[in-house]
Structure 1
Amino acid sequence: MSEGDNNSRQAIARELVERFHDYLAYERRLSPRTLSAYQGDIERFREWLRQADVSHPKEITQHHVRAYAAWRHRNGTTAKSLQRVLSSLRALFRFLIREGVTGINPAEGVRAPKIARRLPKSLDADQVNQLLTIRETDPLALRDRAMLELLYACGLRLAELVSLDVNDIPSEDNQLEVTGKGSKTRRIPLGRMARDAIDAWLKVRGDMAKEGETALFTGVRGSRISPRMVEKCVAERAVKQETNRHLTPHMLRHSFASHLLESSGDLRAVQELLGHADISTTQIYTHLDFQHLAQVYDKAHPRARRNKESDETPAEKENGK
């Protein structure tokens, strides 16, 4: 079959695809990378329509789009990629409606499978204690301990930690006021261990900080410490303390949230302390808490052990004796 014959059987003609590409490039000003992704999505859809013997855009229904999405999913396309594919198709049909080629958008209302939310990684209480037991007394070690204590004791975001000034540390009531996302402020109790670590750092801070520097934490050159340097310090300190984990500042925030929720069960309080605008963001920690409880149950509850034993075959029981 010649290229001309093949194009004549296409439900969406090459000329329309080229016009759509120009629309995305010059009117919507999409990036080259996004343009390339959209182009690949449209070409695969056109080929699928050709094999399905669909010969005109007006013949394409929501059933076709759903069937195409299901076919892509069965063939290994992830939920996240399918979201982009459907976005490409919705944009295409909006363009075709504008051009008067068709009157409906069959991709509207078709949704990709939900993306599985990855549970945040966190440390257990023993790992946190191992990390925070820093015995060195040089200025860098005292600074690192104070940063780690604040990240864990207050559940701070990295940007919140870096932006702290010396004057932000309360002198009496031990309520730390933090400015978070959207310039929203919240107050967080400053625990005794964190307070002691900060006080120890403040005694030697003048040996590192430039004169007139307001930042609570500084680098070796005396200026406000950068987020990248905090990440590096946290990772290196995890190695020195032999926690056997690759550690990031955000993992300490996750540890703060999961340990607090595990002990209190008060989701609203954890939401306030983390500075989440929507409680649905905080609810991911209920999954972490349930995982922990399930592990405890499996290890300790007589019924759990009995169920595991009953699942064994007679041969497995015999081998286990």
Structure 2
Amino acid sequence: MAPGQDAKSGVTGTGAPDDPLRDEGGQESRDAIALPAHLAGSGRLDRLVDTARDYARAAASDNTLKAYAKDWAHFARWCRMRAADPLPPSPELIGLYIADLAAPQPMGTRKPPALSVASIERRLSGLGWNYQQRGFSLDRKNRHIASVLAGIRRQHARPPVQKEAILAEDIRAMVATLPHDLRGLRDRAMLLIGFAGGLRRSEIVSLDRHKDDTIDSGGWIDILDGGALITLRGKTGWREVEIGRGSSDQTCPVHALEQWLHFARIDFGPVFTSVTRDGKRVREHRLNDKHVARLIKSCVLAAGLRPDLPDAERVKLYSGHSLRAGLASSAEVDERYVQKQLGHASAEMTRRYQRRRDRFRVNLTKAAGL
């Protein structure tokens, strides 16, 4: 047995695994997808098992799987430090765990930070998913979990902290700070396409030039006379995003995309790839979505947005979601068109992104006769 490994849980304290269907020792989880016990193994059946495992991993995004893996690693480590076994699931133990997340007990001289209600609920979702992969079920309605979580919500719930919206005048100032080398052309196209399409940062970097160019593609782009048609694989299935041409080449997202594709000579594979440090050559591998967040923060500083705040506070106000919130707040069109562009299932979700919406356009007080 490896040092630091718990004999019962099969989980080490070295960190989260890359594959949530494996434990941290690198072994396949004992209750993961496998051949039925009554069947004899064969080459064909073993290949089917591998295929089924690949499909199981594709049921959630890579970022979600990584988060769930970290959730399980943290819970297993917490259990081990208290001489408890994470398997099978114990509602009483999980109730104590989420209580410790909300009001952590000091560990020696150090007191861990308390998690928000949203983070605790995400941890519970991660534990539920991990238990399912190991052949168990987690009953979140059990009183030992539900009552503790209800108390945490009552005492610690806060309104969500929203990121600042990047409005039209902001995005124009941001792209104006970018150079005109390959890196600048790429970053300009990413910002403008992300803003005009209301795209998530993961959706921006997942785009390919054509359908089926790569196996890790999240969508592709068709450039037409009137604009660009982006086909995306979203959380609820495939959707199309239409990005029309702008009134000026300096701020037109489609023109910026065409310039990048032309000078970078990209006609196959990932649309947004890395560039050499000198900004003169394009590499083949796809950018990470964290690049979008870093790009937004650096351009916010360069453009001088929110000059009333120190730099450290300014960059905290903006993230990848600032592009989506900016489109929702800037587009003076019927709300249903914004909802469709952002891929929201409800108008209520779209309204959360609208930072400067006319909240009293419909006055029910006057309509009721007062």
Structure 1 residue 109: Cα displacement: 12
Letter aligned with residue 143 of structure 1: R
Match of 1:237 in 2: 299
Residues 91, 145 of structure 2: 8 Å contact kept: no
Answer 1 or 2: which has greater strand percent. Answer: 2
TM-score (norm 2): 0.48
Give the aligned partner of residue 80 of structure 1. 117
- CA separation in 1, counterparts of 2:90 and 2:329? 43
Mapping of residues 170-181 of structure 1, within 5 Å: 170-172=222-224, 173-179=226-232, 180-181=234-235
Separation in structure 1 between the aligned mates of residue 290 and residue 271 of structure 2, nearest angstrom: 16
| C-alpha distance in 2 between matches for 1:22 and 1:184 | 46
Alpha carbons 2:222, 2:229 under 8 Å: kept: yes
What RMSD, in angstroms, separates the aligned Cα atoms of the two structures? 4.4
Please, which runs of 5 or more residues in structure 1 have no aligned partner? 1-20, 43-76, 96-104, 294-321
1:175 Cα deviation after fit: 4.2
Residue from 251, 272, 276 that aligns with 1:217: 272
SS in 2 for 1:289: coil
Q: Does 2:237 align with 1:205? A: no
Match of 1:186 in 2: 240
Which blocks of at least 5 consecutive residues in structure 2 are unaligned? 1-81, 104-113, 125-138, 211-219, 247-251, 276-282, 307-313, 362-370
Deviation at 1:186, TM superposition (A): 2.2
- How far residue 28 of structure 1 moved from its aligned partner, in angstroms, is 1.5
Letter in 2 for 1:91: N
2:110: which partner in 1? none
In structure 2, the residue matched to 1:74 is none
Distance 1:127 1:166, change over 3 A: same
- 2:95–2:145 CA contact under 8 A, matched in 1: no
* Contact persistence 1:213–1:223 (CA under 8 A): no
* 2:289 maps to which of 221, 227, 231: 227
- One of 134, 142, 149 as aligned partner of 1:91: 142
Contact 2:270 2:286 in 1 (8 A): yes
Distance 1:218 1:107 in 2: 43
Structure 2 counterpart of 1:272: 340
Task: Please give the alpha-carbon distance, in whole angstroms, between the structure 1 residues aligned to 2:272 and 2:357.
Answer: 33
Tell me: CA distance 1:25–1:230, structure 2 relative to 1, closer, same or farther (3 Å).
same
Paired residues, what number?
221
State, as a whole percentage, how many aligned pairs show the same letter.
23
Contact conserved, 2:187 with 2:295, CA < 8 A, in 1? yes
Equivalent in the alignment of 2:164 = 121
Partner in structure 2 of residue 133 of structure 1 = 176
Structure having the higher helix fraction is 1
2:323 corresponds to: 252
Instruction: Return the offset for 1:89.
Output: 11
Cα drift, residue 215 of structure 1 = 0.6
Q: Partners in 2 of 1:181 and 1:116 — Cα distance? A: 24
Amino acid at match of 1:141: G
| Distance of 2:90 and 2:180 partners within structure 1 | 55
Q: Distance in 2 between matches of 1:108 and 1:153?
A: 40
2:255 equivalent to 1:196: yes
**Cα distance in 2 for residues equivalent to 1:250 and 1:29:** 37
CA distance in 2, matches of 1:243, 1:106: 42
